[in-house]
Amino acid sequence: MKKAPTAEYLQQAKNLSKEEVERLLARMRSKLLRKFEDHKLSALEVAAMQLEIEDEELNEWRQRVAEIKAKTKNK
């Protein structure tokens, strides 16, 4: 896991409503949660990192789905 969020994701996190940030924080991983609870990272930084993690996972999922579709299409 990265130690700091990128500027792009920090800006995205800043643009979220309070409710959206709360939902995002509810989905964060335990390691990220511990950093937040230990006050090593702000809520904004944690939200930005969670956005980045979710984007990466979504892109990986899309790639796997595309591979599966290509395999089933070739059969």
| Unique residue bearing structure tokens 């990986």 | 60
For 1-58, the pLDDT digits (tens) are: 567 889 999 999 999 999 999 998 888 878 788 878 888 888 899 999 999 999 999 9
pLDDT of residue 14: 95
Give the count of domains, the chain: 1
Domain-located, residue 25? yes
Structure confidence at residue 33 (pLDDT): 81
pTM for the model: 0.79
Instruction: For residue 2, tell me if it sits in a domain.
Output: no
| CB 18 within 8 Å of CB 41 | no
Task: Output 65 or 3, whichever has higher pLDDT.
Answer: 65
Which structural domain, as residue segments, surrounds residue 16? 7-73
Residue 75 clears pLDDT 80, i.e. is over it: no
CB-based contact 1:32 (threshold 8 Å): yes
Q: Which residue has the tokens 């940030």?
A: 21
